[in-house]
Amino acid sequence: MFIDRLMNQGNAPLLEQMVKFTQARHRLIAENIVNASTPNYRTKDISIEKFQAQLRERVEKRSQSTPGSVGFNDISTEVEDPKRNILFHDRNNRSMEQIMSDQSQNALLHNLMTELLRKQFDSVQNALKERVS
């Protein structure tokens, strides 16, 4: 219980949700890449804006309620069919530039989140060892 509270304080649950989100998005991006030549395939994505808006809402709710009463685990990540791309003759709406840039952005975000999470875990570990980092 003590460790659980220690790990779930501050930004850690938010970072964890962002890591989960980037992993789910990476899976969709991977699917888009392998299906770049598949006729009738439509690209899939999850909106980062919608996800972050939901997170923001939860953070505001959490700050106004008792600690531990508002969780982040049930935030939905709905798969969307982005209609921003043009349709090719094989009825596939790929945009390789968009997919590759989304992939880089998502991977960077993932690495940033894991790095921040690691720093938080390190500081908890340092506190437990009574050591100044």
Partner 1 sequence: MFDVLQMGATGLRAQRTRMDTVASNVLNINTTRNEKGEAAPFRRRMAIFQAGAGRGSNKPGVHVKEIRLDPSPFNERFDPGHPDADAKGIVKYPNIDMATEMVNMLEASRAYEATVSMMETSKAMYNSTLRLIA
Q: Which residues bind partner 1 (CB under 8 A)?
A: 19, 22-23, 26-27, 29-31, 33-41, 96, 99-100, 103-104, 107, 110-111, 114-115, 117-118, 121
Give the nearest distance from C-beta 29 to partner 1 in angstroms.
7
Nearer of residues 96 and 127 to partner 1, judged by Cβ:
96
- Of residues 64 and 78, the one with the C-beta less far from partner 1: 78
Cβ count near 55 (within 10 Å): 17
Residue 77, CA distances (Å) to 51, 56, 86, 102, 108 in order? 7, 14, 25, 17, 20
Give 42 or 50: the residue with its C-beta nearer to partner 1: 42
Q: Tell me the C-alpha distance between 100 and 110, whole Å.
A: 15
Asked if 44 contacts 31 with a C-beta cutoff of 8 angstroms, the reply is yes
